[in-house]
Amino acid sequence: MEGLREKLTEYFEWFHRHPELSYEEYETTNKIREILLEAGVEILPCELKTGLVAVIRGEKKGPVQALRCDIDALPIGEESGLSYASECEGKMHACGHDFHIVSGIGCAILLNEKKEELSGTVKIIFQPAEESSLGALKILETDVMEDVERIWGLHADPTNEAGVLGIREGYVTAAVDRFIIKIKGVGCHGAHPDDGIDPIPVAAAVVQALQTIVTRNINAFHPSLISVTRIQAGNTWNVIPETAELEGTVRTMDKKDRELFEKKLAEIAKHTAAAFGAEAEINWIAGPPATYNDGEMVIHSMKTADKCGFSVVPEESSMGGDDFAFFEEKIPGCYIKVGTGKGQLIHQPGFKVDESVILPTAEYLAELMFDSLSASCI
């Protein structure tokens, strides 16, 4: 396996040096295709501008399952100090998607080498634009998932050491929704606020009132949050502007809480604005739902982890989200956190992956795909 270890490490460093943002992963896609074709792995013809799907067809009959590996980077300047740091200014793989790519490539190569023993079919999805929260929909717009019965995902985890997997049944990431609230008042001279309706104190009141959704409307045992992340109003010091705009995100685990948040946010914004004589316009932009780990798939994941020499710890719930959950609206799924060495967290400029975990992760994924298909055929 030393030869494969060296190749995967080489590939990993190449992808890390050449990060591409969501929907721009053309060079990344071409490199993945080149590597897979050289290894004799079949690539499905599907209408994707970026990203691709590899397929390993077992010579024994069985179900079809998929492994999702996301491929995009983030608009973050790298400060990792790595010798193979990003060569693209203002862009880096700060979420470990380069690690996901090579883990998927390694899994494909290993499965392809023993496909005569494989009981079923594995599709390895190199998915674009996860960071947009909507990239999975590009895959779902094709026919790739029509025959897939279950799907697996992985994510780099810098809160755990290499050799440790986080696995747990139930909800593990939150639903991700975005909102924009536009407050419309009446602009006037800053010296004569009584001549207008100032949207800025309205916006401040709305920000404060929105927090009561969590503290007064949601069950205290249900994880949820709302964050207002942008407030914008005016462009000079002595003019009260006509409008103010708020933008932010809502994170929930429970479906009913998600519905309640959308309803209450609109009510609070509109009625608070009205109390000041202003108006509020709400734009709710729904993202992916919460990610849920299927119980049977969790058992398979843990058994294979033990077989491959990984330690398993309970996967922590995160209010972060992943568009992997869009696949789970159709079929069962399991989302596994892979310890990549403790260090700076994801989405930070100093994030890095311990390269020693690359080959073991590829071997684990290949064994998981193999074992779970075999178990389905018993």
Q: What is the CATH number of the domain that holds 58?
A: 3.40.630.10
Closest CA to 335 of 311, 354, 317: 317
Q: What are the start-end ranges of the H helices in 72-224?
A: 97-113, 135-140, 199-210, 212
Per the CB < 8 A criterion, the answer to whether 246 and 276 are in contact is no
For residue 339, what are its two tokens? 């310890």
Task: Give, in degrees to the nearest 5, the angle at Cα 139 between 137 and 145.
Answer: 115
Whether 105 and 124 share a structural domain: yes
pLDDT at residue 2, rounded to an integer: 74
Whether 221 and 349 share a structural domain: no
Q: How many residues does the chain have?
A: 378
pLDDT at residue 375, rounded to an integer: 78
Q: Per the structure, how many domains does the chain have?
A: 2
Instruction: Note the pTM of the prediction, 2 decimals.
Output: 0.93
Whether 79 and 165 share a structural domain: yes
Summarised one tens digit per residue, pLDDT across range 311-366 is 999 999 899 999 999 999 999 999 999 999 999 999 999 999 999 999 999 999 99
Per the CB < 8 A criterion, the answer to whether 111 and 52 are in contact is no
Single-letter amino acid code for the residue at 207: V
Closest CA to 150 of 45, 66, 24: 66
pLDDT < 50 stretches in the chain: 378
pLDDT at residue 377, rounded to an integer: 52
Whether 163 and 189 share a structural domain: no
- Choosing from 286, 315, 340, the residue where a domain stops is 286
DSSP 169-180: SEEEE-EEEEEE
Whether 236 and 223 share a structural domain: yes
pLDDT at residue 378, rounded to an integer: 47
Summarised one tens digit per residue, pLDDT across range 57-113 is 999 999 999 999 999 999 999 999 999 999 999 999 999 999 999 999 999 999 999
Whether 143 and 197 share a structural domain: no
pLDDT at residue 44, rounded to an integer: 97
- Choosing from 286, 321, 342, the residue where a domain stops is 286
Whether 110 and 41 share a structural domain: yes
Per the CB < 8 A criterion, the answer to whether 86 and 66 are in contact is no
- Choosing from 286, 318, 348, the residue where a domain stops is 286
Residue corresponding to tokens 């009141």: 205
Residue 225 three-state SS = strand
Domain of 196 in residue numbering reads as: 175-286
Whether 220 and 323 share a structural domain: no
Instruction: Say which CATH number the domain at 241 has.
Output: 3.30.70.360
Whether 268 and 308 share a structural domain: no
Whether 257 and 322 share a structural domain: no
Q: What is the rounded CA–CA span in Å between residue 250 and residue 157? A: 23
Single-letter amino acid code for the residue at 377: C
CB atoms within 10 A of CB 296: 14
Whether 51 and 139 share a structural domain: yes
From edge to edge, which strands make up the β-sheet containing 60-70? 42-43, 52-57, 119-127, 60-70, 150-157, 333-339, 164-166, 311-313
Whether 128 and 208 share a structural domain: no
Q: What is the rounded CA–CA span in Å between residue 31 and residue 49? A: 14
Per the CB < 8 A criterion, the answer to whether 210 and 268 are in contact is yes
Contacts of 253 (CB under 8 A, 6+ apart): 171, 174, 175, 222, 223, 224, 290, 317
Q: What is the rounded CA–CA span in Å between residue 169 and residue 120? A: 25
- What's the mean pLDDT when you consider all of the chain? 96
